[in-house]
Amino acid sequence: MAMSHNRCSHVTAGAVFKGEGGSNTISLPDPVSGDEAMKQNATPLDRRGFGNDHRPAFETRGIVLVPEDLTLKDWPERAHRAGLTTIALHHGSSPKAVACAVQSDEGQSFLERCRQLGLQVEYELHAMKELLPRDLFPKEPTLFRANDKKERTPDANLCVHSERALDIVGEHAVALAKSLRPTTGRYFLWGDDGQPWCRCDKCRALSDSDQALVLENHLWKVLRDQDEKAQLAHLAYSHTMAAPKQIKPVQGVFLEYAPINRRYDIPYSQQTGPTQPDGLHMLDANLKVFCSETAQVLEYWLDVSRFSQWRRPTVKLPWNCEVFVADLDAYGSRGIRHITTFAAWVDDDYLKRFGEPNFIGEYGAYLSGPKKE
C-alpha cells in the first residue's frame, strides 16, 4: 500500500523466496538488541495500565510483508522470537501474485513454519482490479466507475450501484479465499491503491468511504457463506480515510486504519489539527462508526519502502522507539487491541547493507506488554 505504485511489481513465485540467509518525553530504557529487548520486556505499557499480568497489551501484534521480503529466510523465526502473533503478506495490485508465491514450494515451507511456530497468517491486498477483471469493460462498461466527467473508466475500483459488479467481485473473492485463506478468518480485500471511487449519478451522493463500505458489507455476507469465521476489513486510507457517514458496517466488517500520510518525527498524539494529513482526529471519527475492540491499526513504523520513497537502493530505517511507544499509548487509550505495521523491504538486501534489524525485537517487546512471572 503506497501512494506510489512502485512498491510491489509482479514477480514470479520461484524468484521471490530466493536469497541468503501525547508527549515525546516518555522515559524509555536504554536501547538494546532485539533479542535482549525480548528478554527484558520492560515496557511502559505496564505502567500505563494497558497490559496486565494475564494478557498482552495488544492481542494482534503483526507485521506486513511483501513476498520478496521472504528472501530473509528466517522471517517466521524472527517474528516468533519478537513475540509477534501474525504475519500478513501484501501486494499493491495483484492477489494472484501472492497466491502464486504461497503455492510454490518455498511458500508452502513458509506457511508450515508459521504453523509450527503458532503464527497466524493473513493476506492484506489491494484487490479490485483482479476481483473485477478489467477486460470486461468493452462489453459491460456500467460495471465500472464513472470519473468526474461521468465517463465510465476501467482505471480503478467499480460502480457499487451495479448489482452485477458486486456479484462478480463476490464470486472472485470466494475463489481467491480458497487459495489465500487467512488462519484468523480476517480478510483484507481493499480497493485499488490510492484510487477514487465512482462518480456516476447514483454513486456520487456517497463518499468514497461509504462506497467502499457498500462493497465490504456485500463481500462479508458472501464470504461468511463459505467461512463461518469470516470478518472483513474496511480500510481507512487515502480516499477512504474519512469516516463513512451514510452507510453503516454490518456485524462482520471491522475497521483497519492506515495513516500513511502522518508524520513519524513526533508522536501521533501531537498530530491533531484539522489540516494535519491523516491526523488523529480521523481515527476518532472512524471509531464513532466502527467498534474499537475489533479495529486494527495498520502502521508504517517499520516500512523501509515508505521511508525509501518506494525506490531502491533503500535507506536505513529511521526507527524512533520513543515515538512508537507514545503511539501505542494513543492507540491503546482508545481501546484498540490490534496493531500491525508494514515492514516492506526488510529483506536479505537490507540485512546485508545495514546489519541486524534489531528494531523487530523492540517492536514486539513493547507490543507484548508486561512479561508473565
Helix and strand element counts for the chain (H, E):
14, 8
Judge whether 33 and 358 are in contact, CB under 8 Å: yes
The DSSP bridge partners found for residue 88 are 64, 122
Q: Per-residue pLDDT tens for 98-138?
A: 999 999 999 999 999 999 999 999 999 999 999 999 999 99
Query: Residue 98: phi, psi to the nearest 5?
Result: -70, -40
- Residue 44 confidence (pLDDT): 41
Question: Where does residue 204 rank: exposed (0-12), middle (13-18), buried (19+ CB within 10 A)?
Answer: middle
Q: What's the whole-number mean pLDDT along residues 2-8?
A: 37
Distances in Å between the Cα of 262 and the Cα atoms of 91, 172, 269, 283, 345 are 22, 34, 11, 12, 20
What pLDDT, on the 0 to 100 scale, is given for residue 1? 55
Which residue intervals of the chain are DSSP H helices? 13-16, 34-40, 44-48, 75-81, 95-103, 105-117, 128-131, 163-179, 208-226, 280-286, 304-307, 321-332, 348-354, 359-368
**354 CB-contact burial (10 Å; exposed 0-12 / middle 13-18 / buried 19+):** middle
More confident residue, 181 or 51: 181
pLDDT at 11: 36
Residues of the chain with pLDDT > 90, as a percent, come to 83
- The whole-angstrom distance between residue 198's C-alpha and the CA centroid of its chain comes to 24
Helices (H), 184-320: 208-226, 280-286, 304-307
pLDDT at residue 56 in the model: 52
Cβ neighbours of residue 56 under 8 Å, at least 6 residues apart? 83, 367, 368, 369
Domain boundaries, the chain: 29-368
Q: Which of the listed CATH numbers 3.40.50.300, 3.50.40.10, 3.90.1150.10, 3.20.20.80 matches domain 29-368?
A: 3.20.20.80
The confidence score (pLDDT) of residue 57 equals 79
176: helix, strand or coil: helix
Phi, psi of 236 (to 5 degrees): -90, 105
* Average pLDDT score over residue span 362-370: 91
Does the pTM of the predicted model rise above 0.85? yes
Query: What pLDDT score was predicted for residue 146?
Result: 98
In degrees to the nearest 10, what's the CA dihedral of 113, 307, 95, 15? -60
Given this model, what pLDDT does residue 318 score? 98
Least confident of 50-64, 149-163, 303-317: 50-64
The residue written with cell numbers 536505513 in the block is 316
pLDDT in tens, 267-326: 999 999 888 999 999 999 999 999 999 999 999 999 999 999 999 999 999 999 999 999
Q: Pick 41 or 84 by higher pLDDT.
A: 84
Least confident of 18-27, 142-151, 269-278, 340-349: 18-27
pLDDT higher than 60, residue 223: yes
